[in-house]
Structure 1
């Protein structure tokens, strides 16, 4: 049953939240909702293994479409694809929860990650687009009066990118964050809904520390039961090294989008890499932004997941 319709529209060079207007839910749908570079593909692979009950390599965009990706398909195309899927559907989004319709019989899985790692991973991602992909984004931006300008190229220096990203000022309106909705807005939106029984928050650090334990937690949330003799293979299929090795099959579109193809997309998968890159002043900038925009409970969870903050529904703010 519909709890509420989307509350806000988001449009950038990459996304258009209006694509969700044609969404017809099924009672067992799963929506994997994350800020970019927080473990989206990782969660898609985990859910794929659980839904299909095997470790087979599948094209994740084929079985788990990114609904609002305006550069990849039209609204009609993505909804035709969703309508024909016979397996339990698991959809991808990078929208804050206020950009989505909220249903009480659809499962929402949100993956969070330490923002310092997110910023560095974003730089690797955004600076890896090839000229053909950038030209496509340019055309979308020019043709959409809301966006109204070419794609914003990131600086080559990751520290310069990080400092600009931290300083992003979000203003009311549909254009939010270059080129996806602002990380802090996405995190705050799902944190606010964390006590709903159909919303599960999972953290990148917890996945890194105990992948099998978190996968079992996800399976329980989704009501999926798998035979014990399958679990070793399911967990192995979701390890970063396994996914990186199968990158061309899991994410086939990356060959046409990125310099370096899937190897660029599946970069390092390291938790706390920011410690090797950021300067003290950069960390101070990040911490100041966290104090400005996030509640203490959310800040603690983003810092280190359930092992640091506790289970999100029980964390007070």
Structure 2
């Protein structure tokens, strides 16, 4: 099947073309604010077998299609790694080369919770630094006032956009998850629910270790993957090697579940349910919303 190309101001999935995979590589494919860094940390702990990581998480698990860092630099860093590699992407699986030797893991989070985290993440980005890195014009004038999160979330639910052009929209989130859901029975594709990481982190880590033929983690490794422990180590774990975050610790803002649903009234929740039903299959929504 042809690989779809996804592009934004700072991402280009075409950078995957020609990437030399190795047997056992792990590709972490998530939507923004759906547990990407959490899954990268889980992979690091399972692969390396120690909570004392030998390098920052962003060096151990590069974001391959992030265009602010030269492609050859990222390829070179991955080529130099002797351990089993685990690579970050926000590209849906239909935009990544699918290799039978490689494992693909997709983390799904309730879209309303994801959206609230996106809202807060946007306020933590240094837009001038991001523009500098991507070659875009620097923002001018005072920053625009943002609407309250409740109003923003309601408009996010109602937004009509091209899902392939706006992957962090509700249609884009559902496109990413629907594509992964359709592949869930493939032997090298694994879906993980964010809420399962919250409620049974040890069980989920053992399940992934078994799927990937890695040693099962002990209590020390599970503890290192908890949200609180990761927040304590934000300087080494936050995805910010180039200074695009105003506050690295704020990147691990809350990590809970249910915050999005609490911000909408009954009418807003009804609109969300109707939109979701039009964008994704019922069995996916049953799993996603449980």
Task: Work out whether residues 17 and 68 of structure 1, in 8 Å CA contact, stay in contact via their aligned partners in 2.
Answer: yes
- CA–CA distance in structure 2, aligned partners of residues 91 and 180 of structure 1: 25
Q: Secondary structure at the match of 1:282?
A: helix
Task: Work out whether residues 38 and 225 of structure 2, in 8 Å CA contact, stay in contact via their aligned partners in 1.
Answer: yes
Query: What residue is the counterpart of 2:272 in the other structure?
Result: 286
Q: Secondary structure at the match of 1:70?
A: coil
- CA–CA distance in structure 2, aligned partners of residues 180 and 64 of structure 1: 27
Task: Work out whether residues 162 and 171 of structure 2, in 8 Å CA contact, stay in contact via their aligned partners in 1.
Answer: no
Q: Give 1:279 shift.
A: 2.4
Residues 1:52 and 2:52 are matched in the alignment = no
Q: Secondary structure at the match of 1:102?
A: coil
Query: What residue is the counterpart of 1:148 in the other structure?
Result: none
- CA–CA distance in structure 2, aligned partners of residues 102 and 244 of structure 1: 33
Residues 1:224 and 2:214 are matched in the alignment = yes
Query: What residue is the counterpart of 2:66 in the other structure?
Result: 69
1:206-239 CA-partner distances (Å, limit 9, x unpaired): 111111001000100110024xxx6110000000
Q: Secondary structure at the match of 2:228?
A: helix
RMSD of aligned residue pairs (Cα, Å): 2.4
- CA–CA distance in structure 2, aligned partners of residues 26 and 134 of structure 1: 32
The structure 1 residue matched to 2:244, chosen from 240, 257, 260, is 257
Query: What residue is the counterpart of 1:157 in the other structure?
Result: 148
Q: Which 5+ residue runs of structure 2 have no aligned equivalent?
A: 138-143
Q: Give 1:250 shift.
A: 1.4
Q: Structure 2 matches for 1:19-58, cutoff 5 A?
A: 19-57=15-53, 58=55
The structure 2 residue matched to 1:79, chosen from 75, 84, 91, is 75
Inter-CA distance 138–104: structure 2 relative to 1 (3 Å threshold): closer
1:95-144 CA-partner distances (Å, limit 9, x unpaired): 1111111111100011101111011011111222123234337734x7xx
1:237-264 CA-partner distances (Å, limit 9, x unpaired): 00000000001111262782222x2122
The two structures have a TM-score, normalised by structure 2, of: 0.90
- CA–CA distance in structure 1, aligned partners of residues 10 and 90 of structure 2: 10
Q: Structure 2 matches for 1:134-213, cutoff 5 A?
A: 134-136=130-132, 139-140=135-136, 155-171=146-162, 175-177=165-167, 182-213=172-203
Q: Give 1:194 shift.
A: 0.6
1:277-310 CA-partner distances (Å, limit 9, x unpaired): 2222321221111110111110011112xxxxxx
Q: Secondary structure at the match of 2:46?
A: helix
- CA–CA distance in structure 2, aligned partners of residues 135 and 23 of structure 1: 27
- CA–CA distance in structure 2, aligned partners of residues 5 and 56 of structure 1: 40
Q: Give 1:179 shift.
A: 8.4
Task: Work out whether residues 33 and 95 of structure 1, in 8 Å CA contact, stay in contact via their aligned partners in 2.
Answer: yes
Task: Work out whether residues 240 and 269 of structure 1, in 8 Å CA contact, stay in contact via their aligned partners in 2.
Answer: yes
Q: Give 1:186 shift.
A: 0.8
- CA–CA distance in structure 1, aligned partners of residues 60 and 214 of structure 2: 18
Q: Give 1:163 shift.
A: 2.6
- CA–CA distance in structure 2, aligned partners of residues 180 and 136 of structure 1: 28
The two structures have a TM-score, normalised by structure 1, of: 0.83
Q: Secondary structure at the match of 1:257?
A: coil
